[in-house]
Amino acid sequence: MNAGETRRLSVPATDAGIKAALDALESLWAAQGVSRAVTWPVEVSLDEVLANVVRHGLAGRGESAQVELELQLEPGDPPRCEVRIEDDGPEFDPLAAAAPDISLGVDERPIGGLGIELVRRLMDEVHYERKAGRNSLRLVRRLVAMEQ
């Protein structure tokens, strides 16, 4: 592995912005030679967080609203990945949301509500901070295979 890398980008609060963010993460893995077998939890989590920000926090603002991202990969055994997502939408702490009931059957199961729970379970650490009118969420994961 190389010396590690940090990438900063700003994407619009649209589907195209989410795609650009996921593409940037994919390109970071490729540049650093990290296997997708250990990176998928980060991609799923970033998708969940951005979907929330774009469809709720910044909904309706489209191209005029930006989400700031910092993608960081530190080499090591295992490598460590940290992703920071910042937006200027209304205060929203995803960690304060109640966990969904995952024991319900097909008929009772509400559609949706699972995203944040997945992030909690896939990441080693999730930190939320509200400062200077901005939401800042930090996701951390050591890139090891996920055993079930």
Instruction: Output 96 or 102, the one with its CB closest to another protein.
Output: 102
Burial readout 78-98 (b: 16 or more C-beta within 10 A, e: otherwise)? ebebbbbbbbbbeebebeeee
**How many Å apart are CA 16 and CA 68, to the nearest integer?**
14
Q: Are 35 and 92 in contact (CB under 8 A)?
A: no
Q: Does 122 bind another protein (CB under 8 A)?
A: yes
The answer to whether 102 contacts another protein (rule: CB under 8 A) is yes
| Sole window of 5-13, 76-84, 98-106, 124-132 interacting with another protein (rule: CB under 8 A) | 98-106
Residue 140 CA, distance from chain mean position:
10
Q: How far is the CB of 26 from another protein (least distance, A)?
A: 9
Considering the complex, state which of residue 18 and residue 65 has its C-beta at the smaller distance from another protein.
18
The owner of tokens 């901005």 is 134
Tell which positions 49-78 bind another protein, by CB under 8 A: 50-51, 55
Per DSSP, which regions of the chain are E strands?
Answer: 5-12, 66-74, 80-87, 125-131, 134-142
- Residue window 12-51: x/- pattern of binding to another protein, with contact defined by CB under 8 A: ---x--xx--x-------------xx--xx-xx--xx-xx
Identity at 47, one-letter amino acid code? D
- Chain positions contacting another protein, by CB under 8 A: 15, 18-19, 22, 36-37, 40-41, 43-44, 47-48, 50-51, 55, 102-107, 109, 111-112, 114-115, 117-118, 121-122, 145-146, 148
